[in-house]
Structure 1
């Protein structure tokens, strides 16, 4: 996905939950990083469910005002039970 640095909008990330897992009972966080390592604890941001997607507001005036560049998009799902799922979800280009 490509978003201009001057735009404030929701970044939508499609997510397929494991069978039987309810998104309403599953907290979700997103990290947008420029490095290749797993995100550090302070790089995660609370996100919200929107249908089958996860969304987070990015751009000027938000906690995610991003400079031009390529960002690795990570998602963290914490469904009930012993799982705590962390996955790389794609690349976001800010122009």
Structure 2
């Protein structure tokens, strides 16, 4: 993922394989090793296909996830009927 300006308001995405796109999805962007319970923010789905869907969240000023300059680790949590997988999605660089 290319660096994103801290002044920018835009969606960030992470493809999740095997989801229907109807499950509850949350995203956390943290500078620590793993997110804690308060780090999770409600997210949504986009680009749903038979193979899976993109988890997405709007970041930037005026959103629930306004990030200062730095490097963050993006995590995605999907809540299904019996499972709740947490997946590392990669770094997000804010400049």
1:35 corresponds to: 32
Matches within 5 A, 1:48-63: 48-51=44-47, 52-63=53-64
CA RMSD of aligned residues (A): 1.0
Runs (4+) of structure 1 exceeding 3 A deviation are none
**CA displacement at 1:64 relative to structure 2:** 1.0
1:88 matches 2:88: yes
Give the gaps of 5 or more residues in structure 2. Answer: 48-52
**CA displacement at 1:3 relative to structure 2:** 0.7
Return the structure number with greater strand share.
2
TM-score, normalised to structure 1, is 0.88
How many pairs align?
Answer: 89
TM-score, normalised to structure 2, is 0.88
Quote the Cα distance in structure 1 between the aligned partners of 2:90 and 2:76. Answer: 10
**CA displacement at 1:11 relative to structure 2:** 0.7
Give the gaps of 5 or more residues in structure 1. Answer: none
